[in-house]
Amino acid sequence: MAKTAAKSAIKEPRKSRSASGVKAPTIEQASEEALKKLQTLGIEQGLQNDLEWCLGSYRADGNPVGLYTMVERAVNVFKSEHARKTKGVTAKLIKDLEKSLQNR
């Protein structure tokens, strides 16, 4: 009996993980993330209600204009909370939300 090679001799090149390969979250994901963070912190109840309404509206008609407006408002709130050193508001959160706004 002849033995066969268990592994193939040809190796596939690994895909490199570059910064350009990282995709920005969609506006819907960013809105959900902002809403969760606002609820966790217990701030801006009016903005939370507006985000919930806009998410429902977006899911119904697919028009993201309201989501962009609400995420912009959320970014401003998070920037002021970050300046106050509020626990849970990170620079990465703000940066991710801003990236999703650039995809208009």
First to last CA, the chain: 64
Residue 41 resides in a domain: yes
Residue 5 resides in a domain: no
Residue 1 resides in a domain: no
Quickly tell me which residue has 């998410």 as its tokens: 55
pLDDT band at 79 (very low <50, low <70, confident <90, very high): very high
> Over the chain, what is the mean pLDDT?
85
Classify residue 34 by burial, with Cβ atoms within 10 Å: 0-12, 13-18, 19+: buried
Please give the residue range of the domain that contains residue 56: 25-101
Q: What is the pTM of this model?
A: 0.74
Distance CA 80, CA 72 (A): 13
Quickly tell me which residue has 């995809």 as its tokens: 103
Q: List CB contacts of 39: < 8 A, sequence separation 6 or more.
A: 48
The larger pLDDT score, comparing residue 88 to residue 51, is at 51
In tens, the pLDDT along 56-70 reads 999 999 999 999 999
The structural domain count of the chain equals 1
